[in-house]
Every structure is written in structure tokens, then in C-alpha cells.
Amino acid sequence: MLPVAGLLVSAVLVQDALVPRDSVPPDRLTALPVASYSEVTGLQYGATAFFRFRVRGDPTTRPSSLSSYATATAKGHAKSYLQLDRWSDGNAGRQRIRLEYQSYPLPFFGLGPETPDSAEEWYKSGVATAQLFAERRWRNSILLHAGVRYVRSRLRKAEAGRVLVQGALPGSSGSDVVSTELGLVIDSRDNVGSPRTGTYARLLPSVAAKVLGADHAFRRLTLDARRYQTFGTNHVAAFQLQYDALSGTAPFDQMPMIGADSAMRGYPRGRYRDQHALTAQAEVRSAHWRRVGAVAFAGAGTVAPAFSKLGTQTWYPSIGAGLRYVLSPRERTVARLDLGIGRGSFGISVGIGEAF
């Protein structure tokens, strides 16, 4: 992964430090300029904004948010999204709508767990995504989940003479995929964006069928399980296990993969892809000192063509460390900066909220 330098400078428009602890926190708008540089994209510049509010002003209801992000680069690349994440009164339900577009260069190494670095080729796609899901509390910390997702991808540039430009790989000439999902979520976290205690787990089967307007028909199973526990003086230990399984033929850019800014940090996005992907990671988060904290993390992951072969494939390690800056002490909203190191690669990622 090419080195990337990231910079986040907060411009908080509503301070909550002076709000009494037993009162309802006010609505809050946070604006952050974003700047980075890499040899691939050149100078990247833009901004992100995050508006937090509570439905009906109930202090026991989790905060809802409206967030946006928009960046462009000196070489004509772009990424943007708009998202509404709303918790209903008394945390009885949750609804999220997300619209996203990106046109960025990404590496492709082929399919399978043993693809060599020499297979790397770069491509650029225009990808538009629309996602809607709703969750309704069933009992205690268990929620029922239903959602729909539409992804439209168009290949705009690929290296001559390489795999993608030949158009034989599923999705290499573009794709339209509509998928529906129905599953269960367990959520007992004490805080959504920066948990210290509790459990979060989701089991989401999904189906993409041509009758729904998709170019490809496949079934998917996503498992994401996390656990948070405090120790010492407000330190936090966080653990995550993810399993992503595919049955059928999906576009190459929607296959289970490892390499992201939230899991397997240190690898390019999609460094390894196949029908099945399994990752695990652990992170230790320090207590904050004057709004500044630190984290250290380690993990491992692999991909395989079948579930039975996951245990026999090469496992790839990921380690790293990062800094946290608390934007809102009351809500524990943080900006993060992480350096991840993988096998033969590394990367720097920035964002709002913990990685998981």
C-alpha cells in the first residue's frame, strides 16, 4: 500500500463540556477538513460534517446522526457519502439510509489466498451505492434486521493487457446488483461510536437475484461479532470476529475480501478475495488524557474457495497502533488516526469513531 498522510482538524460548533451531566445534550455539529496525499491520487482535499441529535430530546435514547463526506484529488478522483442514522424513541428501533459514490484507483491481485504481489494491477471504477435498513427491538438486546442495497459499478480505467480489461471476470465490465437481507442483531453496547462494555453481533443472510434487477445471482452470509470490556483505569479491550461467505457468482469487487481501514488494517482494500473470508482482531484502547488517547491492535485473516479450506490456507497478520482525539467527551465521539502494518504492506487510515 502506498504511504498516505492524513490530517484531521476539528472545528466544533457546539461545545458540550459546559452541559450539566443530568441534562439532555444539545444538538451538535462538528466539521472536519480532510487532507491526504499519495502517489496514486496526488493531493486529496475535502471536508466531513457530523450532526448529532436525539429524537424527542430523550437522554436515554441513543444519539442519531446525519453525516456527510466529500473529497476530491488533484488527479480527478472523488469520494462522497450522505448518511442518516436514526434511533427511535427509547431505542425501540433504528433506521439508516446511506448514499455513496466513489471513483478511486484500487489495486486488484486476482482471486484466492496465494495471489502474488507481481499480479497487482490498478483499476478505476465509478461505484454508486444506496443502502436502507431498519431494525426493530424484539426483546432485551435483540433486534430484527431488514434491509436492501443497490450497487451500480462501472469500470472506467484498467491496465492494458491485464485481467480486468479483458472483461472475462464477473463484474469487470460493470454490474448492477440489488440485494435484500434479513437477520438478527444483538446490541448491548454502552455507546455506539466508542464502546467500552457490551456485545455487538449481527447475523445477516442476504440474497441478490436477477428478478430484483441484479446482473448476478448469489447468496451471502455475514457474521460480525464484537465484545468490549474495560480493565485498569478506563482502558478498553475490544475483540472482533468476522466471517463473510458467498454462494453463487458475484462481481469481483463485491466478493468477500480482507484489507480495509476497519479490519486487517495495513493491507490494500481487497488485497485477497475469494468465496469465503475470515478475520479476527483485538485492540487495546488507553484511557484519554486531555482528550487524547492511544490504541494498539493485532489481527489475522484469510480467504478460501470453500469453508472447509479456511483452516488450511495462509493466514495474514495485521498489527499497528493509532491515536484518538475526543471530539465530544459526553458522547465519546472520537477522531482516529491508525497506522497498520501487514505482510509486505502498510497504510494510514483516518475516520470518525473507533474502527470497530
Beta strands in the chain (DSSP E): 5-8, 11-12, 28-38, 42-53, 64-73, 78-87, 93-108, 121-139, 142-158, 175-187, 198-208, 218-231, 235-248, 257-258, 272-273, 276-285, 292-304, 316-328, 333-342, 345-352
Q: How far apart are CA 194 and CA 80, in angstroms?
A: 23
The per-residue pLDDT for 23 is 61
Q: Chain-wide mean pLDDT for the chain? A: 88
> Taking 70 as the threshold, does the pLDDT of residue 21 lie above it?
no
Q: How far apart are CA 172 and CA 158, in angstroms?
A: 9
> Taking 60 as the threshold, does the pLDDT of residue 56 lie above it?
yes
> Taking 80 as the threshold, does the pLDDT of residue 25 lie above it?
no
Measure CA 319 to chain center: 18
3-state secondary structure of 92: coil
**pLDDT tens across 107-152, in order?**
999 999 999 999 999 999 999 999 999 999 999 899 999 999 999 9
More confident residue, 232 or 23: 232
The per-residue pLDDT for 39 is 64
Q: By C-alpha distance, which of 279, 281, 278, 267 is closest to 304?
A: 278
More confident residue, 235 or 28: 235
Q: By C-alpha distance, which of 215, 348, 269, 242 is closest to 102?
A: 269
Classify 72-352 by CATH class.
Answer: mainly beta
Averaged pLDDT, 189-212: 92
Contacts of 329 (CB under 8 A, 6+ apart): 16, 17, 291
The per-residue pLDDT for 168 is 86
Q: 40 falls in which pLDDT band (50, 70, 90)?
A: low
Please state which of the ranges 172-176, 179-183, 236-240 shows the lowest mean pLDDT. Answer: 172-176
The whole-model pTM stands at: 0.87
Q: 350 falls in which pLDDT band (50, 70, 90)?
A: confident
**pLDDT tens across 218-238, in order?**
999 999 999 999 998 889 999
> Taking 50 as the threshold, does the pLDDT of residue 174 lie above it?
yes
Averaged pLDDT, 317-341: 91
Measure CA 29 to chain center: 22
> Taking 70 as the threshold, does the pLDDT of residue 8 lie above it?
no
Averaged pLDDT, 92-101: 97
The per-residue pLDDT for 294 is 97
Contact of 231 with 198, CB cutoff 8 Å: no
Range among 35-49, 193-207, 319-333 with highest mean pLDDT value: 193-207
Q: How far apart are CA 347 and CA 333, in angstroms?
A: 23
> For the chain, how big is the Rg over CA atoms in Å?
20
> Taking 50 as the threshold, does the pLDDT of residue 75 lie above it?
yes
The per-residue pLDDT for 260 is 80
Q: How far apart are CA 227 and CA 66, in angstroms?
A: 26
